[in-house]
């Protein structure tokens, strides 16, 4: 197993059933077909709730940006691309996500669905994808169940999961001396899995979780938990907050309002995006350690893409946005290699594939459990004086190689059947 590194970063045919005649060889040169009149992509995301900033409309734009770049890159190919992108707001409710996915697959003929923050919604869509034998690339949800007991042959888990987060932040902080933890987590699939993964990582590193409480989701009042934290026995070294998006913003603000740091209870954040830091304020989070799948200015390759994204959207991307772009690109390139959008043929082009792009470094799409493993990053929030431009919040602490960042396939419990 590779050691951790602590160094700086050195549209397809418009005619139904058209034959794809390859140009200059390649897998598509043998011919193939595109179903319907286009390759159809769907983005199901949170367009109006607590995760709308970290994913939302800009996740849709990231997918569209990948489509535009794919068309330009393959403009001289014999395949004349017609690629459509549709969107739906799941409102962070699994029943709405289920209905939206069924409509996309059954009524609209969508070939692949992307994004889907909120783990309960993601698990619902994974079930629909499997039933319809259509592809689904989960980006925004973190539950390890997607590549574990509830895995299936048509679902890929692309960007991150709770194991990655816990074995970065939870393990490191415990080893640094935060031996006793109090965890609070949103009471649905994501939070429950975060609680499980962090508890396992903390205990494996020699620490203990003295107490763990579920919180309503979504929620704007965490006063009960802020009052409880310093009065626990033994008093926790750290409050581990497993909330995300708008809920994380609320809980951190209330952590500061209740003065928990001055009462000897430190702060650990399970999952954080640049949009969260912008909402809370870098000065309130300076020095906070967390684990991320990617950050926009980690090197020149990432910055170049982030600059183009900002020109398109007016803002810097989160890792959710970057991963949606990367996953869309990998899917479209797999369709081209397969010469068809048939899901089973595209899977053959995806499973086991190794790649390296601006988002996913040293990446592999594991055939055993459909986890897309890649390097991850232990980072901390910069001191305000070190922030040189908008969204320049992140300082690298340690690179975590892919084979350490994600659990081994043999440990996943996945059975593709």
CATH number of the domain encompassing residue 266 = 3.40.50.2300
Over residues 390-417, the pLDDT tens digits come to 999 999 999 999 999 999 999 999 998 7
Over residues 46-65, the pLDDT tens digits come to 999 999 999 999 999 999 99
Cα atoms found within 13 Å of the Cα of residue 53, Cβ hemisphere only: 17
Q: Is residue 125 one of the residues assigned to a domain? A: yes
Distance CA 97, CA 47 (A): 12
Q: Is residue 8 one of the residues assigned to a domain? A: no
Q: Does residue 95 share a domain with residue 177?
A: no
Which residues are bridge partners to 381 per DSSP? 394
Asked whether residue 118 carries a pLDDT value surpassing 90, the answer given is yes
- Given a contact cutoff of 8 angstroms between Cβ atoms, the answer to whether 180 and 236 are in contact is yes
Predicted local distance difference test score (pLDDT) of residue 417: 78
Tokens of 209: 């979780």
Q: Does residue 177 share a domain with residue 138?
A: no
Q: Does residue 277 share a domain with residue 188?
A: yes
Distance CA 20, CA 338 (A): 10
CB atoms within 10 A of CB 84: 18
Full domain range(s) for residue 75: 27-160+298-374
Q: Does residue 401 share a domain with residue 345?
A: no
Q: Is residue 136 one of the residues assigned to a domain? A: yes
Predicted local distance difference test score (pLDDT) of residue 27: 35
Residue 68: partners with Cβ closer than 8 Å, 6 or more residues away:
none
Asked whether residue 8 carries a pLDDT value surpassing 90, the answer given is no
Residue 32's pLDDT band (boundaries 50, 70, 90)? low
pLDDT > 90: what percent of the chain?
Answer: 88
CB atoms within 10 A of CB 259: 11
Predicted local distance difference test score (pLDDT) of residue 380: 97
- Beta strands 39-45 and 112-115, pairing class: parallel
Residue 31's pLDDT band (boundaries 50, 70, 90)? very low
Q: Does residue 234 share a domain with residue 136?
A: no
Q: Does residue 242 share a domain with residue 199?
A: yes
Q: Is residue 3 one of the residues assigned to a domain? A: no
Q: Does residue 385 share a domain with residue 269?
A: yes
- Beta strands 354-355 and 266-269, pairing class: unpaired
Q: Does residue 399 share a domain with residue 287?
A: yes
Q: Is residue 183 one of the residues assigned to a domain? A: yes
pTM: predicted TM-score of the whole model, two decimal places: 0.92
In 3D space, the residue among 306, 318, 69, 174 whose CA is nearest the CA of residue 183 turns out to be 174
Predicted local distance difference test score (pLDDT) of residue 79: 52
CB atoms within 10 A of CB 10: 5
Q: 1-5, 67-71, 167-171: which has the minimum mean pLDDT? A: 1-5
Asked whether residue 106 carries a pLDDT value surpassing 90, the answer given is yes
Residue 6: partners with Cβ closer than 8 Å, 6 or more residues away:
397, 398, 399
Distance CA 113, CA 41 (A): 6
Over residues 261-310, the pLDDT tens digits come to 999 999 999 999 999 999 999 999 999 999 999 999 999 999 999 999 99
Number of compact structural domains in the chain: 2
In 3D space, the residue among 185, 183, 194 whose CA is nearest the CA of residue 216 turns out to be 185
- Given a contact cutoff of 8 angstroms between Cβ atoms, the answer to whether 365 and 156 are in contact is yes
Cα atoms found within 13 Å of the Cα of residue 77, Cβ hemisphere only: 25
Three-class secondary structure of residue 379 per DSSP? strand
Over residues 144-202, the pLDDT tens digits come to 999 999 999 999 999 999 999 999 999 999 999 999 999 999 999 999 999 999 999 99
Predicted local distance difference test score (pLDDT) of residue 33: 77
Predicted local distance difference test score (pLDDT) of residue 20: 31
Q: Does residue 325 share a domain with residue 186?
A: no
Predicted local distance difference test score (pLDDT) of residue 76: 76
In 251-371, beta strands by DSSP E: 266-269, 289-292, 354-355, 363-365
Distance CA 254, CA 135 (A): 40
Q: Is residue 411 one of the residues assigned to a domain? A: no
Q: Is residue 21 one of the residues assigned to a domain? A: no
User: Alpha-carbon torsion 396, 401, 406, 407, what sign?
Assistant: negative
Q: Does residue 280 share a domain with residue 192?
A: yes
Distance CA 129, CA 5 (A): 38
Q: Does residue 401 share a domain with residue 325?
A: no
CB atoms within 10 A of CB 179: 18
Q: Does residue 168 share a domain with residue 152?
A: no
């Amino acid at each position: 197993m590779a050691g951790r590194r602590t160094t700086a970063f050195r549209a397809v045919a418009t005619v139904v059933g058209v034959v794809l005649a390859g140009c200059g060889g390649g897998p598509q040169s043998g011919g193939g077909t595109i179903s319907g009149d286009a390759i159809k992509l769907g983005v199901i995301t949170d367009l109006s709730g607590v995760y709308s900033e970290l994913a939302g409309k800009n996740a849709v734009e990231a997918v569209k940006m990948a489509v535009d770049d794919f068309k330009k890159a393959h403009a001289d190919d014999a395949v004349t691309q017609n690629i459509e992108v549709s969107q739906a707001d799941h409102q962070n409710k699994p029943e709405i996500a289920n209905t939206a996915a069924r409509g996309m697959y059954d009524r609209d003929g969508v070939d692949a669905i992307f994004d889907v923050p909120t783990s309960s919604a993601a698990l619902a869509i994974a079930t629909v994808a499997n039933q319809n034998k259509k592809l689904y690339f989960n980006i925004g949800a973190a539950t390890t169940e997607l590549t574990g007991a509830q895995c299936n042959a048509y679902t890929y888990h692309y960007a991150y999961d709770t194991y990655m987060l816990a074995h970065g932040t939870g393990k490191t902080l415990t080893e640094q001396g935060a031996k006793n933890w109090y965890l609070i987590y949103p009471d649905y699939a994501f939070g429950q899995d975060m609680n499980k993964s962090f508890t396992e990582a903390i205990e494996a590193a020699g620490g203990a979780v003295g107490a763990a409480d579920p919180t309503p989701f979504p929620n704007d009042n965490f006063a009960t938990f802020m009052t409880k934290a310093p009065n626990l026995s033994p008093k926790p070294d750290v409050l581990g907050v497993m909330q995300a998006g708008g809920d994380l913003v609320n809980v951190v603000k209330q952590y500061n309002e209740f003065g928990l740091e001055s009462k000897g209870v430190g702060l650990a954040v399970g999952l954080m995006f640049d949009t969260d830091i912008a909402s809370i304020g870098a000065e309130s989070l300076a020095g906070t350690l967390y684990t991320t799948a990617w950050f926009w200015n980690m090197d020149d390759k990432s910055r170049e893409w982030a600059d183009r994204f900002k020109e398109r959207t007016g803002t810097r991307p989160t890792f959710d946005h970057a991963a949606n772009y990367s996953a869309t690109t990998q899917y479209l390139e797999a369709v081209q290699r397969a010469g068809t959008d048939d899901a089973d043929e595209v899977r053959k082009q995806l499973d086991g594939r190794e790649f390296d792009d601006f988002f996913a470094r040293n990446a592999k799409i594991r055939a055993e459990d459909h986890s897309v493993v890649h390097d991850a990053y232990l980072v901390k929030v910069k001191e305000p004086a070190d922030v040189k431009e908008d969204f320049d919040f992140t300082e690298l602490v340690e690179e975590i190689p892919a084979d350490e960042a994600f659990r081994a396939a043999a440990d996943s419990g996945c059975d593709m059947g």
